[in-house]
């Protein structure tokens, strides 16, 4: 297989998991290479995501590493043989790579959780809200890129509004619902949009109310994407220099616990809708 200049986040995740399996088996890259009949450079390229790996070689490596988790190995094999060129590819070279990586992650996700405290989660945003939000970025993107970002964000909604929606749960702090983005009319339309989407069978929206006590220790905004198996879950967090993809089991366990803790203190779906409706009426 040829080498890649810029592996996607999904390709890198496959590479990382292969490296983790080898490390867990206590084997060197040289030993793994000898088993496959290749040199250690090729193993390094596979484990850095700069070259792919065939399903046959992947399964041989997993057996050599004594990995007995068949569902996990099957999931890795599916990643290795995936040749999907999704709708997001039309934006390659026009938007930051992290935008495309998030779209690809969502496409393959089995479920999705969002926790947000200052903004409406991207999958629930209206065009006007998204446009106003991107316009506030520093530095502000050029007009043509701004519109590409908005269009890309709207297309991402296919995972909850398309033909095969995945289960989606959003925990939104009351502050995010009250902050006006794009003006009064845009904010009112945004709340109406959340109410509309919250009625869908696979969409759950819960509000984290202001009235909670002792909540400062669980204010971690996140995107949590369920993988084909739990070991392939991913957390995405936005930072000052772009999106950070988190995939270590220890960290994933922390974020699962945080999500459940926030979920437990959030309002039930109907009470959440009632609150959003009152906020919309007050605008």
Can you give the CATH number for the domain in which 211 is found? 3.30.870.10
Residues 74 and 108 in one domain: no
Domain endpoint, select from 81, 110, 137: 81
For residue 125, what is the DSSP state?
-
On whether the CB atoms of residues 263 and 206 are closer than 8 A, the answer is yes
Per-residue confidence (pLDDT) for residue 239, from 0 to 100:
65
Rg, Å, the chain Cα set:
21
Are residues 197 and 69 part of one domain? no
Please report the pLDDT score of residue 212 as a whole number: 85
Residue 92 lies in a domain: no
pLDDT for the residue 45: 96
Are residue 165 and residue 236 in the same domain, yes or no?
yes
Residue 213 has what pLDDT? 77
| 42 domain residue, yes or no | yes
> What is the structure's pLDDT at 2?
59
Point out the domain boundary residue: 81, 107, 127: 81
Same domain, 112 and 249: yes
* Structure confidence at residue 73 (pLDDT): 98
The enclosing domain of 21 has a CATH number of: 1.10.260.40
Spatial separation of the C-alpha atoms in residues 8 and 242, rounded to whole Å: 15
Domain around 114 = 97-282
- What's the whole-model pTM score? 0.94
For residue 31, the surrounding DSSP H or E stretch is helix 29-36
Continuous segment of H or E residues that includes residue 118? none
The residue out of 33, 51, 81 marking a domain boundary is: 81
CA dihedral sign, ordered 56, 57, 58, 62: positive
Provide the pairing of β-strand 111-116 with 222-226.
antiparallel
Let me know whether 271 and 153 are in one domain.
yes
Please tell me the total count of domains within the chain. Answer: 2
pLDDT of amino acid 234: 98
pLDDT lower than 70: segments of the chain: 1-2, 214, 216-219, 239-242
Structure tokens at 160: 């909850």
- Looking only at the bridges linking them, the beta strands covering 234-239 and 168-173 are unpaired
């Amino acid at each position: 297989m040829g080498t890649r200049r810029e592996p996607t986040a999904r390709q890198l995740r496959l590479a990382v998991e292969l490296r983790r399996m080898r490390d867990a088996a206590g084997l060197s890259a040289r030993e793994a290479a000898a088993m496959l009949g290749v040199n250690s450079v090729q193993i390094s390229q596979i484990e850095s995501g700069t070259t792919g790996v065939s399903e046959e070689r992947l399964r041989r490596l997993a057996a050599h590493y004594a990995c007995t988790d068949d569902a996990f190995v099957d999931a890795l094999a599916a990643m290795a043989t995936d040749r999907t060129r999704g709708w997001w590819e039309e934006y390659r070279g026009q938007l930051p790579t992290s935008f495309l990586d998030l779209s690809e992650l969502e496409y393959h996700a089995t479920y999705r959780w969002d926790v947000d405290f200052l903004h409406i989660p991207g999958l629930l945003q209206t065009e006007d809200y998204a446009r106003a939000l991107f316009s506030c970025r520093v530095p502000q993107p050029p007009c043509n890129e701004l519109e590409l970002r908005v269009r890309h964000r709207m297309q991402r909604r296919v995972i909850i509004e398309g033909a095969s929606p995945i289960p989606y749960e959003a925990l939104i702090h009351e502050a995010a619902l009250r902050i006006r983005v794009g003006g009064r009319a845009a904010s009112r339309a945004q709340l109406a949009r959340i109410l509309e989407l919250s009625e869908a069978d696979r969409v759950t929206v819960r509000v984290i109310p202001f009235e909670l006590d002792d909540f400062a220790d669980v204010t971690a905004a996140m995107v949590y994407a369920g993988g084909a198996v739990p070991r392939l879950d991913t957390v995405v967090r936005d930072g000052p220099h772009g999106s950070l993809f988190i995939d270590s089991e220890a960290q994933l366990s922390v974020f699962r616990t945080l999500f459940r803790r926030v979920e437990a203190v959030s309002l039930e779906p109907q009470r959440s809708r009632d609150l959003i409706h009152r906020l919309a009426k007050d605008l």
